[in-house]
Amino acid sequence: MTDAVLLQAINITKSYAGVQALKSALFELRAGEVHALIGENGAGKSTLIKIITGAVEPDSGEIKLSSSTITHNSPRVAKQLGIAAIYQQPALFPELTVAENIALGLEQTGMLGRVDWRERRRHSAELLAQVGARIDVERAAGELTMPEQQLVEIARSLGAKAKVLIMDEPTASLSEEDTQNLFRVIRNLRSAGVGIIYISHRLEELPVIADRVTVLRDGRTIDTRLMSEVNRQALIQLMVGRELSAVFPKKEVALGDVALELRQLGSSEAGIKDINLSVRAGEIVGLAGLVGAGRTELARTIFGLTQADQGEIVLRGKHVRIESPSQAIKHGLAYLPEDRRRHGVILDMQIGANVTLASLDRLSRYGVMDFKREKEIAADYIRRLGVKTPAIYVPVSTLSGGNQQKIALSRWLVTRPSVLILDEPTQGIDVGAKSEIHALMTELASEGVAILMISSELPEILGMSDRVAVMHGGTIAAILDRKDASQQKILALALGHDLNEVEAQAKAVR
């Protein structure tokens, strides 16, 4: 990191429909620096980034790049000036090849509009090599994994000679190995003098990768500190403005009868086999495992999105055959998917319509929708879940990530499920919103809802689960009671180690 100021946001103010998103916000980025930008959902991070990248015009304030004020900013202008952004969901065209995606916006065609395909492939391969990516430039972008897509976007940014690189929740969907590889690429970019704005809700990452951290709260810049001068608890207090006593507000509740039981369940299509698992009313069972272990595939099979071809599903003591999500809903099942933006909510649809989407049969008669009742239900759940929104008729796309997750969850709560499957329920949301969703899970459990929670965050698994089922290779490797579970045990089981071996090692350590 140098002392040279690369980018400044000075007294940025912006309002939407009467809601003030930013209030004289300040931010500074130096060349060769990784500067973390954190805050609760709704704190103003996304709005600030949109203003820096030219997607949104501020009501007042200015953006400076290398001491020069950017006038008439737009995405095109920002890109030309060397400002690039990589979002949680990479913006690649899936039908185009890697080389074609990298070339977009970088190439000038030759005489008669001809493309030099050989040079395009060579240049793309060179840029990918700079970020340590071994990716065939002829592959379709839609075939790439999430980490590979991110590397392609970083390579494209290098090709555009980016001076400022904004990374929004870059590790939300990555494994530990992929995260460490991304950090290596970030350090190389920092060494080359690129200034990086790093947005993440994973506070434990920040000491590893960030030089400085700026905290936003309610649209204002609260403080900027050297990363070495603050710990996680101090950051949480700056973010929420108060002591956060319980990120995992787990409470013991009386467990009821078995609500969901899986007996030798398998699906060749999903790649899962011999699943034996039960969840009782009022119980939260955590489902842990590495990426590719089969956790999401199991959830999709239970919910009827993928067909089971082996074993049985038993709900409240009755054998059921679930061949579609509509059948699952009728049986009292609900499933909150991992990717809320693609499968959890419909971004362009109004909040009220999103909330009631899974309950239309209860809100219509002879094909006529009861819009008054829809409004009442939506208002009730917005109030219950504490969704921050100016009105129920605005599109879900206008909400922050945490509030979008609450809307996705409310859709299923309206169906009054007896079994709720949550796939990464707090992925990509801030610590305050996490605490609220965890509190809601505890409340639902106390009301007798059986919850199967998939999470890649081991503190969440340990903090919220009554029991932990660990998956490896498409099946359940072991089930641990809350008192016996530890991060070391879960990780070892997820890697395929034998339970007896794991327990013997744990005793040896003690």
* Burial class of residue 111, CB neighbours in 10 A (0-12, 13-18, 19+): exposed
Of 5-19, 71-85, 115-129, 357-371, where does mean pLDDT reach its minimum? 357-371
Residues 65 and 88 in one domain: yes
Alpha-carbon distance of 131 to 159, in angstroms, equals 11
Do 361 and 326 lie in one domain? The reply is no
pLDDT band at 244 (very low <50, low <70, confident <90, very high): very low
Q: What is the DSSP letter of 445?
A: H
The sign of the dihedral angle between the CA atoms of 301, 305, 308, 309 is negative
Residue 347 has pLDDT above 90, yes or no: no
Residue 399, pLDDT score: 82
| Domain boundary residue, one of 391, 416, 441 | 416
Confirm whether 338 is domain-assigned.
no
**CA dist., res. 373 & res. 203, Å (int):** 41
Q: What is the predicted pLDDT for the residue at 250?
A: 82
Q: How far is CA 41 from CA 239, 377, 433, in A?
A: 10, 24, 7
Cβ contacts of residue 453 below 8 Å, gap of 6+?
Answer: 284, 285, 286, 287, 422, 425, 441, 460, 461, 464, 465
**Domain end residue (candidates: 210, 240, 270):** 240
Domain-embedded: residue 210: yes
Q: Where are the beta strands (DSSP E) in 337-387?
A: 364-365, 368-369
pLDDT of residue 134 exceeding 50:
yes
Residue 251 placed within a domain? no
Q: What is the pLDDT of residue 313?
A: 96
Query: Is 248 domain-assigned?
Result: no
For residues 201 and 267, membership in a common domain is answered with no
- 176 occurs within a structural domain: yes
In single-letter form, the type of residue at position 310 comes to Q
Q: Residue 262: give its domain's CATH number.
A: 3.40.50.300
Q: Is the pLDDT of residue 136 over 80?
A: yes
Instruction: Based on the fold, state whether residues 63 and 169 are members of the same structural domain.
Output: yes
> What percent of the chain stands above pLDDT 90?
43
| Residue 466 binned pLDDT confidence (cut-offs 50, 70, 90) | very high
Instruction: With CA atoms as reference, report the closest residue to 392 among 408, 380, 409, 405.
Output: 380
Residues 453 and 382 in one domain: no
Neighbours of 406 (CB within 10 A): 29
Distance of CA 416 to the CA centre of its chain: 25
Confidence of residue 112 (pLDDT cuts 50, 70, 90): low
Integer Cα distance of 314 and 46 in angstroms: 44
Looking at per-residue pLDDT, the higher value among 456 and 78 belongs to: 78
In the chain, the number of structural domains is: 3
- CA-wise closest residue to 385 among 358, 411, 417, 415: 411
249 within a domain of the structure (yes/no): no
- Quick one: 271 and 374 in the same domain? no
Between 343 and 31, where is the model more confident?
A: 31
Both 176 and 36 in a single domain?
Answer: yes
Q: Are residues 312 and 394 in the same domain?
A: no
Q: Distance between CA 322 and CA 340 in Å, rounded?
A: 23
What span, in angstroms and rounded, lies between the C-alpha atoms of 65 and 281? 57
Over residues 111-116, mean pLDDT:
68
Q: Are residues 105 and 205 in the same domain?
A: yes
pLDDT grade for 246, boundaries at 50, 70 and 90: low
Name the pLDDT band for 39 (thresholds 50, 70, 90): confident
Contact 270, 320 (CB under 8 A): no
Asked if 196 contacts 190 with a C-beta cutoff of 8 angstroms, the reply is: yes
At residue 199, the pLDDT reads 92
Q: What pLDDT score does 60 carry? A: 95
Judge whether residue 210 has pLDDT over 80: yes
The better pLDDT of the pair 500, 221 is held by 221
Condensed to tens digits (0 to 9), the pLDDT of residues 396-414 reads 888 877 788 888 888 888 8
If asked whether residues 49 and 138 sit together in one domain, one would say yes
Return the percentage of the chain with pLDDT > 70, whole number: 92
Q: Are 179 and 211 part of one and the same domain?
A: yes
List, in order, residues 6 or more apart from 296 with CB less than 8 Å away: 337, 338, 423, 454
Residue 502 has pLDDT above 70, yes or no: no
Strand order in the sheet with 68-69: 19-30, 5-16, 60-65, 68-69
Query: What is the span of the domain harbouring residue 352?
Result: 345-416
Residue 135 lies in a domain: yes
Residue 105 reports pLDDT greater than 70: no
Closest CA to 427 of 35, 87, 43, 88: 88
**Residues near 377 by Cβ (< 8 Å), separated by ≥ 6?**
352, 355, 356, 359, 363, 414
Residue 491, domain member (yes or no): yes
Tokens describing residue 254: 């009386």
Among 357, 384, 416, the domain boundary falls at 416
User: pTM of whole model > 0.75?
Assistant: no
Does pLDDT of 508 surpass 70? no
pLDDT tens digits along 276-335: 999 999 999 999 988 788 999 999 999 999 999 999 999 999 999 999 998 999 999 999
Q: Is the pLDDT of residue 260 over 50?
A: yes
pLDDT at 178: 78
pLDDT (0 to 100) of residue 309? 93
What average pLDDT score do residues 327-351 get?
83
CA 10 to chain centre: 29
Task: Return the pLDDT at 81.
Answer: 93
**Could you tell me the pLDDT band of residue 481, with boundaries at 50, 70 and 90?**
very high
Residue 384, token pair as written in the block = 């219950």
- 435 & 399 share domain: no
Which segment of 127-136, 206-215, 315-324, 382-391 scores lowest on mean pLDDT? Answer: 382-391
